[in-house]
Structure formats: C-alpha cells, structure tokens
Structure 1
Amino acid sequence: MMLLVLLTFASLILTGNALDVQGRIIWNSACSVYKDLGKTRVVLDNGKFGGGVTQEGAFSIPNVSTGTYILSVLAHDHGFEQLRVDVLDESNVEVRPYVPGTPLNPASTILLPYPITLSAKQKFNYFVPPESFNIMGMLGSPMMLMMLFAGGMVLAMPYLMKNMDPEALEDMKEQQAKMAKMQSAMASGDFKSGFSALMSGFEEPSQAGAKAQPATGNTKKKSTKKR
C-alpha cells in the first residue's frame, strides 16, 4: 500500500513539472495543404514523447518533463528540419536550431520563437521515370564497342590474309589449330591434353633456336681453321 502511495506521489510530482509542447506547421509550396502532408507525427527524441498534427497544422506533445530534446517531424513524403527543445520548467521552453550529426552541447546562441513553427523543406519523389532508349548511349557502351571491333576484324581478316606472306599465313593457321585443340580439350575436361598442346606451342620456338645455335658454332670453327 505504501509503495502504491509513493508511486502515485512521484507521478504527481512529474506531472506537475511537465507541460505540453505546442507548435504549428506552416503550409508552403512544398506542402500546401494537410491532404498533401498525410499522416504525420511530431516526436521528441525519436518517439519518447509525441503528438499528431491536426488539419490546421497544429500539434501538441503532452506531458513533456523538464530536459533537453531533439524535435523531429515524421512525415512520409516531406522533409522537415530538426530543432533542439529545452524544457526548463512547466512554463519556460527554449527552441534552437539543430543540425543532425553535430554535438548537442554547447547549445546554439540563436533562439527561435515559441510556440514552434515548422515548414516543409522538401517533398520526396519516390517515382523514378524509366530511362528512354538512347542509341548513342548503347553504341558508346564498352560491350558494344568490343562487338563492333570483333565484327570489323572478322570482315577485315580475309583481306589481311590475302596480303600475308605464305609462310606467315601457314604459321598462323597452325597456331589457330593448336588453340582450337587446346580449347576443345579444356572444354571436354581433358586438361592434360590442353596443357600439352599449350606447352608444345612454347617448346617449338625454343627448339628452333637451339638448332640454330650449333650452326653458328660450326661457322666460327670453320673460320678459325681457315686462319
């Protein structure tokens, strides 16, 4: 029984030091009527205290105890600035501008009028129009440029092959055959054959160079014998 009396007495003390924070939303070009605003709440400290907005734009946050709060407007389609509200006692309220992300203290030296007046700073547009077809943008994409280059090479390859040296053309055909063999082996899962085909392409030039070196050595020996 005594505990209930103490709780009732404490609640009466807190209620006696509390007040209703009053304010109004001013209609402007961003939000001209209540219908555009929709269902909106004005809250302190992310919902610790809160109140609704009437059709005239007025709002009241009841039973706010002494302390420092951040006032926010929870609206779906509109953005409002945040304010710092200092409830000093049951009759004194100070309102100051507040920039989100900045320290709460020290408080700004600028005092705003009370009751609070707010207006919408912007209207959110959630509709994103689909992009129209742009032929130049499509042609300028990297994938399209690569496809055009590959198509140009396919068309120009017969003319290039006609002007190539027969030996170079034969070497190119052999390299293409080896690459095709390696790709088919890799695709079929025969990695051993694919790597052997790849290594054979590297070994042939080295063998050709090794065969050419003894020939140079013989010429040197012949030249020394003649001397």
Structure 2
Amino acid sequence: MSHHLIFILSLIISCLLVTDAVKVQGKLETNGVLTDLRRLRPSTKVTLSGIHSTFIQSDGSFVFDDVTPGSYLLEVNNIDFIFPKLRVDIKENEVAGSYTGLGAGWDKTGYALPHPFVLRAKAEADYFVERQGFNVIGMFKNPMFLMLGFSGLMMLVMPKMLQNLDPEAMKDITQTQTDAQNIMNDMPTSLSQMFAKAQQQAQQQQRSSSRK
C-alpha cells in the first residue's frame, strides 16, 4: 500500500512540474545585415543561460521545450553575425522578454519584446583590428618625443643665451657647474665611507653581544 502511495505522489509531483514548464520559441529573420538565412552556419545555436540549447531550423525558427520558471539569458551563438541578447523571464506559464547586454545589471530590463521572439542580426562579426597608419598629432603627444624635442631646443638656444650674459653671471654659472661636478665626483667616496662606518658599528655590536 505504501509503495502505491509513493508512486501516486511522485506522479502528481511530476505532473505539476510538467504543467509549470513552458515552451520558449522564437525566430531569426533577415534584414540589411543578414540578407539570407542560408548564410548562417549549421552550427548556429541558441542558448538559455547555458542550461538549455537548441539548433535553428532552416526557416530560422528555434524552440525550447519544458523550460522551468526563472530568469534566463538568451543568446544566439554564431561566428559570423552578432545578434542582440535577451533576458527571458518565465513566471506562471507566461514568457516575457527584454533586450539586455554585457555590463547591464540583472535588476534592470531593457525594451520589452513580445513572445515568440523575433531576432535580427545587429552587425557582422569582425575579429580583426585595422592597423593604424602614421599619426603626426599622436607623435607630438608622446612624452618621449616631447622630452627629445625640448632637449634639442635647449641645445640650440642655450649657447645664444650664454653669449648675451654679462661676465659676472657667466662666472656664477661656471662656478655652479664646477661645484655640481665636484659633488658628483665625491659621491662614490662618501658612499663607501658611509657603508664602511656602518659595517664597523655592526661588528662592534656583535663583539659586545658575544662578550656578554
């Protein structure tokens, strides 16, 4: 008796699940981008969130049977053409669709689309980026080019500026250059002395700690 009861309950539950499931259908139609459906490859698929998938028929139609209630992303997978993406909401045996796209929040819906859905290609797929030619304006925006240009300009202008300076100012500039050169020459010596002093302090601390 218990086995019969379990069988009847499972049958009732399966019937309820079947009645909740609905059929989602649509069709791909031609336009200025896709002028002939025969241009679509036989591998063209339509998917619902990767859970359900189906191939299109020769007339461009597609059908999903027994789709349970929920929200899905409908995509047309074709290597040659780009089709719009749809958000499909199934609730209480009703199918509602709206346009969506990458980066759009799932809490927002675009323009509604009646069911059965009719989709048309947006553009032909282009997987190649055209190589850019020589751009003079872009070259002037390059920081390295600006630095080289400024250095070359200074090399041309500085000698003329120095010629117009009075002897006292010229003497000050020469002295400043000499002092800077002396500092640069003394830097290796001062650095080596600093490292040697630090090494001596470390050795003294190590000796004092070993005596303790």
Please state which band the TM-score falls in when normalised by the shorter chain.
0.5 to 0.7
CA RMSD of aligned residues (A): 3.7
Contact 2:84/2:99, CA 8 A, preserved across alignment: no
Of Structure 1 and Structure 2, the greater strand share is in 2
Q: Give the SS at the match of 1:82.
A: strand
**Cross-structure match for 1:167:** 168
TM-score by length of 1: 0.61
Q: After TM superposition, give the deviation of residue 12 of structure 1 in Å.
A: 5.1
Contact 2:24/2:95, CA 8 A, preserved across alignment: no
TM-score by length of 2: 0.65
Contact 1:71/1:83, CA 8 A, preserved across alignment: yes
Match of 1:58 among 56, 61, 70: 61
One-letter amino acid matched to 1:159:
K
**Cross-structure match for 1:73:** 75
Q: Give the SS at the match of 2:63.
A: strand
One-letter amino acid matched to 1:41:
K
> Which shifted more, 121-130 or 56-65?
121-130
One-letter amino acid matched to 2:126:
N
Q: After TM superposition, give the deviation of residue 133 of structure 1 in Å.
A: 1.0
Q: Give the SS at the match of 2:148.
A: helix
Contact 1:37/1:78, CA 8 A, preserved across alignment: no
Q: After TM superposition, give the deviation of residue 8 of structure 1 in Å.
A: 6.2
One-letter amino acid matched to 1:170:
K
One-letter amino acid matched to 2:33:
A
Matched, 1:116 2:114: no
Once residues 85 and 148 of structure 2 are traced to their aligned partners in structure 1, the CA distance between those partners, rounded to angstroms, is 51
**Cross-structure match for 1:202:** none
Where do 5+ consecutive residues of structure 2 fail to align? 194-212
Contact 1:79/1:124, CA 8 A, preserved across alignment: no
- Aligned pair count reads 184
Where do 5+ consecutive residues of structure 1 fail to align? 194-227
Higher Rg: 1
**Cross-structure match for 2:90:** 86
